Amino acid sequence: MDNPIDLIAAVGVVPVIAIERATDAVPLADALLEGGLPVAEITFRTEAAADVLAAIRDARPELCIGAGTILDKHNLQRAIASGARFGLAPGYDPDIVDAARQAHLPFCPGIMTPTDLTLATARGVRLAKFFPAGVAGGPKALLGIAAPFAHLGVRFIPTGGVTEATIGDWLAIKQVVAVGGTWIAKTEDIREGRFRAISRAAAEAVKVAKQALEKRA
């Protein structure tokens, strides 16, 4: 699929990954692909993020990589230069939204309240990250927040507090494109080289998400 958002929607789950060393990039990519997960969000929470993106872009282009925790335009440009095919942020910054649009990068800013969503949709945003999803009230809260904006066709990627056990609850909401989760490829598992565990977690997440999407259809 040429459009990364279409791929994300087809899979239903995106691993949210904070990776500390670029040398772990390819083994991580291989673990995710082996688990049947063709997409990943590499967060700019570590100094290695841009190098990790570039390493995966060059060695494993079949893995659709995106950049998370984009908090400023500098890191947005670094992400694009390193091969990110989509971007996400924990909050809404109109300058970053505009810069991503100008760069033709699919971008998903974070929202938590109706006010956030009002400002974002006024800027043309139609895909938002609901964050932190667990703290913000879970699926019922998102249903309530999304209802007044349904006619605009706004869709969401809930992230933060999502678990394998709650994938089905989130994907039961038709406006939810996919869920983002940190449990699939934990920083400590990457650091300790537990890539088989990551493959197993990826495979199970893909399985659960597929079942939820089929049930919704």
Catalytic residues: 41, 129
Whose CA is closest to 97, among 125, 126, 63? 125
* CA distance linking residue 19 with residue 141, whole number of Å: 31
Question: Which residue pairs from 72-79 have beta carbons closer than 8 angstroms and sit at least 24 positions apart in sequence?
Answer: 72/96, 73/99, 75/44, 75/49, 75/50, 76/100, 76/103, 76/105, 77/103, 78/44, 78/49, 78/50, 79/44, 79/49, 79/50, 79/53, 79/105
In DSSP terms, 180 is beta-bridged to: 14, 159
Instruction: Specify the amino acid at residue 31.
Output: A
Report which of 111, 64, 107 is spatially closest to residue 87, judged by C-alpha positions.
Answer: 107
- Rounded to whole angstroms, the Cα distance separating 182 from 161 reads 9
Beta strands in 1-98 (DSSP E): 13-17, 39-43, 64-68, 87-88
Classify each residue of 16-37 as buried b or exposed e, where b means 16 or more C-beta atoms within 10 Å of its C-beta: bbbbbebebbbebbbbbbebeb
